[in-house]
Amino acid sequence: MIRALTLLSACIALAGCGLQPIYGGGVGNASVQGLAAVEVAPIPGRAGWLMGNALDDRLSAGASNATPRYRLDIRLDDRLEGLGLLNDDTIGRERRTLRARYQLIDLASGSIVLDATSGADAGIDVVSSEYATIAAEQTALERLTEEVADRIVRRISLALREPQ
């Protein structure tokens, strides 16, 4: 009986906390419609191409033919640095860092709706096979662009959900 009352009171408290899912309501939700109205400006380089594709996949998931209301400008900083030295003075570990500075611009007024940064990094083991090391570096870049794109879209969703 005590367990049931505790569970009931927890459910009531959770229902009254005011938390709402960002994408609640599906395609008719303001956040989903706002994301579909974001146009991604071209981003130079291989990392830019990967980031553009990742963002396009996430932003156009709600609606396909939305008229752009916002433009997303992104500047990427992709760095690869050696960390650990082995006994023979070769690098044994690398760190790949991807940082994105982005601005969401309202196309109607030209005002900046959101100005933020996001980033992620990954460690890479340098092995004797140069091919394997290059493949690991490229895979790390692909995963980092996916992670940073997720963070950017989440932040844009929150910004578009808030009343302007």
pLDDT per residue over 3-51, tens digit each?
Answer: 777 877 766 666 555 545 555 544 455 556 778 888 999 999 999 999 9
Who has greater pLDDT, 156 or 23?
156
Who has greater pLDDT, 126 or 148?
148
Q: Is the pLDDT of residue 66 over 60?
A: yes
CATH architecture of the domain with range 22-161: 2-Layer Sandwich (3.30)
Residue boundaries of the structural domains of the chain: 22-161
Which tokens belong to 62?
């709600």
Q: What pLDDT score does 125 carry? A: 85
pLDDT per residue over 90-130, tens digit each?
Answer: 778 889 999 999 999 999 999 999 999 999 999 988 888 88
* Listed residue (68, 64, 98) closest to 81, CA to CA: 98
Query: How far apart (Å, rounded) are the C-alpha atoms in residues 132 and 143?
Result: 16
